[in-house]
Chains A and B, each alone.
Chain A
């Protein structure tokens, strides 16, 4: 035998999982939502998504090769592409290109690379980018095109989203009523105004099923968020049905499903234990519904997730998995 033997410590086999497989799996899960966005928002959706992905990949490549002088850039692992897609899915389809690029710069440069790249960021980069844009460009970020305008981009006609309507009802805006909301079927398939990726409940749920089947994520975070929102919204609706929308409507509108399935389940910023994930999910659900019903903004999902991202290290430090053979504490 001409070659030297390789010597290493056990284990000597590997399951074959890799960072790339997980990232590209998430991308595949996002395909249904992307297709729906093309159907309802057409050219605008395509431009926004393409710009966001290209900008995120470009910035990550520039930072890793020119600033950090690493020998290989990290764009191959797919996480920059995912940040690009998720950022795009949180934006209206008529957002100007320069704003999208700024958002990508913040998401990759500030929220991800400045902390050390994948694995070291405390906040979800796509959400951080989205909130940065929301606070910096509130007008452009809160005017959504009406569905069906397939060939317009920046000059699309805009209209109200279901969440804006629901906020109006709570605040007692004149003329606002629940009859103006789209029906449940429209909400399910996505025939309503909103950010690119958040409109279609069915497409997002398909993505969730795919990721659960591929074992990319577990059920704990999405189910605990959606369950909490359902219960709290249900209680409030039962208490006062005239101003609080029904829990089903809450589940199907806004960025709740997108956030619960794709943003809150981000590996790096979510807790590491099942118990921790459930606590995290319940808190996010609770904060979301509170902001939606009582806060100034119509949508609370992004803020709720970012707030709970800050608590993740604390959850990881105190919530430990159940140890095998744990010695029962004697009183």
Chain B
């Protein structure tokens, strides 16, 4: 009995002394931190993704607290909701930022872009691109080994096994820029998410001459310039035989999508349109002149708009 009492008392005394020492040192050696940093840090998503340009959320919080204004400071995963929170904690104004999303500018699916050789080696885009341009005749297109998938912290991009192209989940994408820098062919770009998530872009990076580009991929941009002439807002420019749509000038009128003879321009999240009658064949049935390209980024079901040309057999070029 005595032993138990002595043990309890002595342990209790030791614990008390240690607690006092700990309290004293925590007070004496305390580092002053602006309490606002903690509050701001709590309001952040805690993903530590680096999308803000700072090494982690607490570094970003410190930068916000020490800055005079929130201009130039933005948390892409948090978006305007989080920035407004931060602004209200600090008594500043958050700048209005358009939500952005990653866009994969290549539509070279297995059907559109036949493979002409087999790659053997480490399945890594950076390594493959150091060897050559890829398994097809288009040396600018997506290599398909998924460096972008490996680097995404938000599970927002995956390779579709049927098309072998990456697909971005626009709900999860935070536009943190990781996949943009990971892609060795610079295929992925951050573009405006757009009103009602609608956007239009040229889904091709091919800078070869027209005949060469067309041979490599059925939906490549041949640099013909029809889209430039068609655009009423001067939003499209051609450089190195490749068209590019400026997302700040584009008003989403969709005239270029119709005009492109190669179906290289993609519209995302627009309502399905009826196929236009261009000519009649001998039987008198209505056929359209062109195929609609498969859009890897269409989130709406668009089965009805995929019209195939009746007299051209669908060549299955997936695998030999």
Contact = CB atoms under 8 A, between A and B. Distances in A.
Interface string A1-30: 001111111000000000000000000000
A236 B167 CA distance: 72
Contact of A8 (B116, B119, B320): B119
B284 interface: no
B281 interface: no
25 contacts: A3-B320, A4-B115, A4-B116, A4-B117, A4-B118, A4-B320, A5-B117, A5-B118, A6-B117, A6-B118, A6-B119, A7-B117, A7-B118, A7-B119, A7-B120, A7-B131, A7-B132, A7-B135, A8-B119, A8-B121, A8-B131, A9-B121, A9-B127, A9-B130, A9-B131
Contacts of B118: 4-7
Q: For chain A, what secondary structure do more than half of its interface residues adopt (helix, strand, loop), or is it mixed?
A: loop
Nearest to B320: A4
Nearest to A12: B120
Contacts of B131: 7-9
Contacts of B127: 9
B122 to A, nearest CB: 8
Interface in B92-142: 115-121, 127, 130-132, 135
A176 to B, nearest CB: 45
A6 B118 CA distance: 5
A3 B130 CA distance: 24
Nearest to A5: B117
B115 A8 contact: no
A3 B117 CA distance: 9
A65 B117 CA distance: 34
B207 to A, nearest CB: 21
Interface string A233-271: 000000000000000000000000000000000000000
Contacts of A3: 320
Nearest to B130: A9
Nearest to A10: B131
A9 to B, nearest CB: 5
A3 B119 CA distance: 13
Contacts of B132: 7
B110 to A, nearest CB: 14
B280 to A, nearest CB: 40
A4 B120 CA distance: 12
A3 to B, nearest CB: 8
Nearest to A2: B320
Nearest to B135: A7
Nearest to B121: A8
Contacts of A8: 119-121, 131
B19 to A, nearest CB: 37
Nearest to B131: A9
A236 to B, nearest CB: 47
B233 to A, nearest CB: 43
A298 B131 CA distance: 59
